[in-house]
Chain A
C-alpha cells in the first residue's frame, strides 16, 4: 500500500519533470469547479486537469450577449473559450462528454470548440452564476451569430451546472 502510494507520487513528480512546459497547469488552490478527464496531457490532480474559478478567470475572456431558449431576454455571458480551456489541459480527442451537477450528460464533438466560439461561462449579466439557477459553469454557444446554432442539437449541448468534461 505504501509502496503503491510512493510509486504514484514518484511517477507524478517524474511527469512534472518530463513536461516543464511554460504553460504548465498550476496546482489548484481554491475549490475545483471543473475537472477535465480522459485524454488530457496536462494534469494537476489525481483525475486530470482541475480548475478553480481563479484559473478560469486567468484565461483570455470572452463576453457576448445572446438570446437563449431558456429566457425571454438576451443574456450577457462571460467566460473563457472552451478551446482555451481544453488547450490549457492539453486535451486532444474527438468527443467531449460534459457532465452536470444534476447528472445531466451531453456529448459535444471536439470540433465544436474549434468551429464556434463556445465559452465556459461563469457570469450571467455580470453576476456569478449560483447553483440555484444554472451555475456555477454554463457551456454557451453564440446562438445569435449563426442560424445553424439555433437548433435543438446545440441547445442540448449547452450544459448548465457543468461539473466535468471527459475527453475521448
Chain B
C-alpha cells in the first residue's frame, strides 16, 4: 500500500469518526433540550398548579359554606357584608378555575364533568338568594343544604386534580429517566469511541515516528556518502597537484638543458632537432600548466594579485607574442582600441594575459584563412572604475548550437576529429571563464557555423595612479653581480657534493659564495651553470640535511633552496639555519619551488626565506631575486667577505 492511499484511508476514518461524534452530540443536544423543556413545564405546573387552583376553590367553597352555616344557626342580625365578601371570593376562585389553561388537565375527568354542572346550578340559585335585600334566613338555610350536597363533588374534584398531577409527574419522571439513560448510553459510546480513536492516533503517530527516523537515517547516510565522495574528489585533486609538481621537476631540467644546448655550437640539423624538441616541450608545459591551474581553481587556492598595470603595454606585449603564430598561418592579425585606454589600472597581468592568450590562441587555431581581430571597447565608466570589453573575432570554422551550449564545460573538445587535429586539454576555456569570473567579469560567445566566432571578455577594472617608481622593464640582461666574476671553468665539471675550489680572484671583488641545495641532478646542473655564468662560486648539497651541515662548516653569501627533498625538506633546513648561532643565520635564502598552490610562497616566507622563485627557473628572475636579496643584506650591515 502506498503512502497516498494510506493517507486517504486515514482521512476517511477521520471523517467517519467526526461524523459519528457529531451525530452523537446532536442527539445529546436534542435530549438536553427536551429535558430543559420538561423542566420548564414542571416549573409552570408548580407556579400555576391545578392542585393549587382546585384547592383554593375548595377552600373558598368551604369558608363560604361555614359562614353561611353560622349565619343560619346564629340568632340575631345577619352579617350581610361578610357573607357577601365570602361569596365574592368563592366566585373569584371559580372564575380562576374556569379561565386557567391548566384546568384543561382535568376537564376530561368524570369528577370534573359531574362537579361543574352541579356548581353551576348551585351558583344560579345562590346568586338569587344573595341578591335579595334583606337576606332571607330560610332561603339561606335551603342554600346551605344545597352547598352541603355539593361538598362531595367539590372534594372529588380536588382528589381528581391531585391524582392527575401525580400521574403527569410520574410520566414526566419516566421520560426523564429514559432520556437520562439514553444520555448515559450515548456518553459511554462517545467515551469508548474517543478511546479507540486516541489509540489509533497513537499507533499512527508511532508509525510516522518510525518512518521519520528511517528518513533521517537515510539522510544521514546520504550526507556521509556525499562527504566521502567529496573527500575522494579532494584526494584526487591533491594527487593531481602532487603529480604535476613531480612532472614539473624533471621538466624544468629538460627545458633548461635544451636552452643551454641551443647556445652551444651545433650543426644546422641539430639546431632544427633542438628547436622541435623545445617546441614539443613548450606545448607539454602549456598542458601541464592548464592542469595545475584547474587543480588550484578546484581546491579554491587560486587568488588574484592585482597590481598597477598599463593596459596599452600589456596589449602590445600580447600582440607581439601572438603575431608570429598568426603570420605563420597567413592570417591578418590586429589589436585595436576604440578609445583611449586608461593609463593605469589594477590588474593581475599574468592571469589577464593568460585569458587573452587562450582566446586568441583558439581563434588562430580554428581559423585557416581570413583574420583574427581583437577590439577593445570601453563600456560604462563610473568614478574610479571602468568596464572594458575585449572582442576577439575570427573568420574561422565557427560552432553550431550544440557546441556553443557545452563550450565552457570541463574537458570539452570540439568533436573527436577536430580534437585530434587541434589538440589541447579541453581545460583552456573553463580556466579562462573561471578566471574572468574571479575578476568580476565573464566571457560570452556567439558564433555561426562556417562563418567564425566572436568571443567577448567583459572585465571591470579599478583605476589607479601610476606607482611611485614606475616599474622598469625587467633586466633580461644577465651575468653581472655586485661582485662580477668570470665563470670558473673548473666548477662546471663538479656535479655533486661540496667543492672548495680556491676563489677565483680574477676580476673585481671576490666571487660570490652560493650554496645550492637541490636533490634533482638535472636541476642542480642547470642552476649550477646559470650561477657559474654569473661568476659565483657554487657549493652543491643533495638534501636539506647536507645543506645544514655545510652551513655549519662554511660561510655563504647566499643559499638557493629547493623545497621537496628527501631526508630533510628545504623549509625545515631554512628554519634550522635561521636558528644557528653566528652570522650564517642571517644568510639570504631564496627558495626555488615548483609548488603552484598559492600558499606555497607564504609557507616559505613564514619559514624564514628571503625570496621565492618559481620553477622553471629563468635566468633573469633568479638574478633579479639574488640582486634584491644581496642588496638588502648589504644594507643590513654585517656582510663579511672571506
Contact = CB atoms under 8 A, between A and B. Distances in A.
Interface stretch (A1-9, A52-60, A108-116, A125-133): A125-133
A131 B99 CA distance: 16
Contacts of A71: 99
Contacts of B85: 101, 131
B532 interface: no
A69 B93 CA distance: 16
Given A132-B95, A133-B95, A101 B89 contact: yes
B48 A131 contact: no
Given A131-B92, A133-B92, A102 B60 contact: yes
Contacts of B95: 132-133
B91 interface: yes
A107 to B, nearest CB: 18
Given A102-B56, A102-B60, A132 B92 contact: yes
B88 interface: yes
B47 A102 contact: no
Contacts of B93: 102
Interface residues of A, number: 12
Contacts of B47: 152, 155
A161 B86 CA distance: 12
Nearest to A133: B92
A51 B192 CA distance: 72
Nearest to B84: A131
Given A132-B95, A133-B95, A69 B48 contact: yes
A134 B93 CA distance: 9
Interface in B64-101: 85, 88-89, 91-93, 95, 99
A161 B48 contact: no
Nearest to A131: B88
Nearest to A152: B47
A55 B513 CA distance: 151
A134 B92 contact: yes
A132 B91 contact: yes
A155 B92 CA distance: 18
Contacts of B56: 102
Contact of B89 (A102, A152, A155): A102
Contacts, number: 25
Contacts of B60: 102
A40 B480 CA distance: 144
A130 B91 CA distance: 10
A134 B95 CA distance: 10
Interface in A114-168: 130-134, 152, 155, 161
A161 B47 CA distance: 19
Interface string B35-66: 00000000000011000000010001000000
A102 B56 CA distance: 9
Interface in A48-77: 69, 71
A101 B91 CA distance: 13
B48 A102 contact: no
A71 B99 CA distance: 9
A103 to B, nearest CB: 9
A131 B83 CA distance: 13
A130 B88 CA distance: 8
B56, B60, B92: residue with the most chain A Cβ atoms closer than 10 Å: B92
A69 B47 CA distance: 11
A130 B60 CA distance: 16
A138 B47 CA distance: 19
Contacts of A130: 88
B88 A132 contact: yes
A152 B46 CA distance: 11
A161 B60 CA distance: 14
Contacts of B99: 71
A17 B421 CA distance: 149
B170 to A, nearest CB: 25
A104 to B, nearest CB: 9
Contacts of B89: 101-102, 131, 161
A147 B56 CA distance: 30
B63 to A, nearest CB: 9
A10 B93 CA distance: 45
A86 B89 CA distance: 26
A152 B44 CA distance: 10
Contacts of A132: 88, 91-92, 95
A152 B40 CA distance: 13
Nearest to B94: A132
Contacts of B48: 69
B166 to A, nearest CB: 23
A67 to B, nearest CB: 15
A69, A130, A131, A133: residue with the most chain B Cβ atoms closer than 10 Å: A131
Contacts of A155: 47
Contacts of A134: 92
Interface in A14-55: none
Contacts of B88: 130-132
Contacts of A131: 85, 88-89, 92
Nearest to B95: A133
A69 B44 CA distance: 11
A32 to B, nearest CB: 12
Contacts of A152: 47
Contacts of A69: 48
Nearest to B47: A152
B58 to A, nearest CB: 13
A101 B56 CA distance: 13
Contacts of B91: 132
Contacts of A101: 85, 89
A24 to B, nearest CB: 29
A137 B56 CA distance: 19
Interface string B107-139: 000000000000000000000000000000000
A134 B99 CA distance: 13
B47 to A, nearest CB: 6
Interface of B: 47-48, 56, 60, 85, 88-89, 91-93, 95, 99
Given A102-B89, A132-B91, 13 more contacts: A69-B48, A101-B85, A102-B56, A102-B60, A102-B93, A130-B88, A132-B88, A132-B92, A132-B95, A133-B92, A155-B47, A161-B89, A161-B92
> Which 10 A/B pairs are nearest by Cβ-Cβ distance?
A131-B88, A132-B91, A132-B88, A102-B89, A132-B92, A133-B92, A101-B89, A152-B47, A133-B95, A131-B89
8 contacts: A71-B99, A101-B85, A102-B56, A102-B92, A102-B93, A131-B89, A133-B92, A133-B95
